[in-house]
Amino acid sequence: MDGLRDFVADFLEREGAAVEPVESEGLEVLAPESIRAAMGWPELARLGFGGAVPSGAIAIGLEGDWLDRFGTLIGERGRFAERQLAAPDSVAPPSNPERVLEHALELQNAIWRLEDVKSAWTSCLLLAFRYTAIADEKREGLVRVGFNQDTGAVLGGDLLGRLLTLLTDTADWQMPDADTRRAAGPGFDATTLTARVVPLVRHHVQRDLEPFLKSTRRRLDRDRARIHAYHDDLRRAALMKLAALESAGGEKAEADRKREALRVAAIEREYGAKLDDLRHNYALRVTIEWAQGLRLFAPVQRYTVLIRRRKGERRIHIDWHPALRMIESTPTDHGAGVERARLVCDDRLHLTEPSGQAACLACGKDWCRACHAACPRCGLVA
């Protein structure tokens, strides 16, 4: 709990409280009115962190609503920031750029040629999203996504992980200067940002929820089988009694037949109601909300690459990051951009993942999802 204790101590001091460490995992806090009102503490409070909380101390942990209370105090502060990475002096650019590009570029239906290499500044957007999934149980998580706003590349996999580690390990927080801002460019507009963020966040949330969904389906199948077996036994017993009464005559037999028929109908209604309850209890509801963002200005080696497809050609940029010694993935014009392979469309030379130019499910025509929102032959929406 040392991390949580250090966070609470630093935050409370920034809010004007007097904080004094006590014992091994405790804090004594002289809190101003704003903190007392938000946290429900007395003016002089002793806080305990960890398993053994001292007598008279308020237990602070990740459970309960403590994080929500701290979040109320923080408000919107710290949700978005800007930072500039210093250019590393000891890292030389790759001596063989073509070989580096071979690890990033996988064009399945086009060829490429390196045209230019130069030093540049780029603007990377790093975003964190919190999701909550509720079915019969609840699952929460955090996904992080990143983009190079100049090249359009998705920052994913090892590159994003190493970048986040670098930012965590680098204590010096340097604000971007005016020259760097101009060199990096304006970044995404709102429309482009939405179009890029939505499929990528959806992909990561679905991937994170796969184990949760599998366990939910197992529980649903188990409960559905149990309910079916119970009601099937009841219905079979009622049908057997009804069959035995088929040949009987008299008013009593007729009354018994009606009673058993009503019992069968009641069992079937109850079975349908139980299935409706299961559908309601296991219905998946997922909410995703933006948590935090960072615009990072980073020095790069920018490769200008000429792509040729049949008689058409276009130029793209791919950045190599000296601070990470890694190259980005190929930019994409459609989809999440998490796969390595790209296809180039014939009409406008859009770069997409293979699924972005797959055949139409209705008519079988191959078409580019970056060019058209629906199949140009049959009109089926992707």
pLDDT tens-digit profile of 27-45? 899 989 988 888 888 999 8
- Residue ending a domain, among 284, 301, 322, is 284
Looking at the fold, whether 101 and 19 belong to one and the same domain comes out as no
Count of helices and strands (H, E) across the chain: 8, 13
Looking at the fold, whether 170 and 117 belong to one and the same domain comes out as yes
CB 349 within 8 A of CB 314: yes
With a pLDDT cut of 70, the percent of the chain lying above it is 98
Looking at the fold, whether 277 and 318 belong to one and the same domain comes out as no
Looking at the fold, whether 95 and 170 belong to one and the same domain comes out as yes
The pair of three-digit structure tokens given for residue 257, joined into one six-digit string? 């037949």
- Residue 184's pLDDT is 93
Predicted confidence band of residue 312 (pLDDT cuts 50, 70, 90): very high
**Domain assignment present for 212:** no
CB 103 within 8 A of CB 325: no
- Residue 24's pLDDT is 67
**Domain assignment present for 340:** no
Q: Distance between CA atoms of 245 and 311, rounded to whole angstroms?
A: 83
Looking at the fold, whether 229 and 374 belong to one and the same domain comes out as no
User: How many CA atoms does the CB half-sphere of 61 hold within 13 Å?
Assistant: 8
Average pLDDT (303-312) is: 94
pLDDT over 80 (residue 56): no
Looking at the fold, whether 169 and 305 belong to one and the same domain comes out as yes
Predicted confidence band of residue 253 (pLDDT cuts 50, 70, 90): confident
At 372, give phi and psi (nearest 5°). -135, 145
Average pLDDT (343-356) is: 93
- Residue 246's pLDDT is 80
Mean pLDDT (the chain) is 91
| Contacting residues for 113 by C-beta, under 8 A, at least 6 apart | 305, 306, 308
Using DSSP bridges, classify how beta strands 44-49 and 58-60 pair: parallel, antiparallel or unpaired. parallel
Looking at the fold, whether 193 and 309 belong to one and the same domain comes out as yes
pLDDT over 60 (residue 322): yes
- Residue 215's pLDDT is 96
Q: Distance between CA atoms of 82 and 149, rounded to whole angstroms?
A: 14
Determine the structural domain holding residue 357 and report its residue range.
Answer: 345-382
Predicted confidence band of residue 1 (pLDDT cuts 50, 70, 90): low
- Residue ending a domain, among 28, 49, 77, is 77
Which H or E run includes 70? helix 66-74
**Domain assignment present for 339:** no
Q: Distance between CA atoms of 371 and 109, rounded to whole angstroms?
A: 17
Looking at the fold, whether 68 and 139 belong to one and the same domain comes out as no
- Residue 78's pLDDT is 79
pLDDT over 70 (residue 259): yes
Q: Which residue has the tokens 């903190």?
A: 35
**Domain assignment present for 116:** yes
Looking at the fold, whether 106 and 147 belong to one and the same domain comes out as yes
Distances (CA, A) of 121 to 151, 225, 301, 322: 11, 60, 8, 11
- Residue ending a domain, among 45, 77, 109, is 77
Looking at the fold, whether 252 and 231 belong to one and the same domain comes out as yes
Looking at the fold, whether 312 and 354 belong to one and the same domain comes out as no
DSSP 63: S
> What pLDDT, in 10s, does the model give residues 118-145?
999 999 999 999 999 999 999 999 999 9
**Of 297 and 15, more confident:** 297
Looking at the fold, whether 103 and 124 belong to one and the same domain comes out as yes
Please state the domain count of the chain: 4
> What pLDDT, in 10s, does the model give residues 350-375?
999 999 999 999 999 999 999 998 99
**Domain assignment present for 338:** no
What would the DSSP string read from start to end of 79-129? Answer: SEEEEEPPPPSS-PPPS-HHHHHHHH--BSS-EEEEEEEEEEEEEEEEEEE
